[in-house]
Amino acid sequence: MKYMVAVLQFLGTNCEYDVCYALEKIQEHYNIQYSLVWFKEQELPKNTSLVIIPGGFSYGDYLRSGAIARFAPIMKAVVSFAQKGGKVLGICNGFQILVESGLLPGALMLNHSHKFISTLSSLKVISHNNSFLRSYNEQNDIHLPIAHGQGCYFIDHENLKKMYDNEQILLTYNKNLNGSIDAIAGICNIQKNVFGLMPHPERAIEKELGSTDGLAMLRDIVC
């Protein structure tokens, strides 16, 4: 049986085809398939093993990034899937949607600079005790692009300590451009089956793009 990846599409999503292109490169060596899933669908494809919520500007980022998309019909199925242990990956706007949906803790706010940031970022692996970064070692450096205006991660100090205790902090920025607390770039839920990150692994899959670290990360997540 093939490993099925469901890639969601919302009004305003703009990275779904980049994700699919990356998955096609992984398909060359692994037995996977993917399906684009429109936000109005009520169910995920049968035998879905992983849901990816790509980046973009769902609903134009009106109100708050991800705040409207979390009410889309497909998100009820995604929440149910995650609560049953299914793997979910949220990239950039997908991360914001996961936070707004309550699948991940904390909040994503306006960058401290009040400016949109688009650059290649250097990241550090903080925890690999999960199914997303299992082939990495702690303190490994990864280079992935960031492109966001509301990527400043915040959570209160009491819950931040709990996240460290539970190894939910997965990635941090080596240079904290958006002002995130503790330079956090990626986190998971306490069950470690939902992963959200602001950087874009699907944009770092070929040398011409400046890094292939994203392809390695996605291969680790999918396979």
Q: Which residues are catalytic?
A: 92, 200, 202
111 with 123: CB under 8 angstroms? no
The strand order across the sheet containing 48-53 reads 32-38, 3-9, 48-53, 87-91, 194-197, 184-188, 169-173, 117-125, 141-148
Separation CA 100–CA 217 (nearest Å):
24
Separation CA 185–CA 174 (nearest Å):
10
CA distance between the termini of the chain: 13
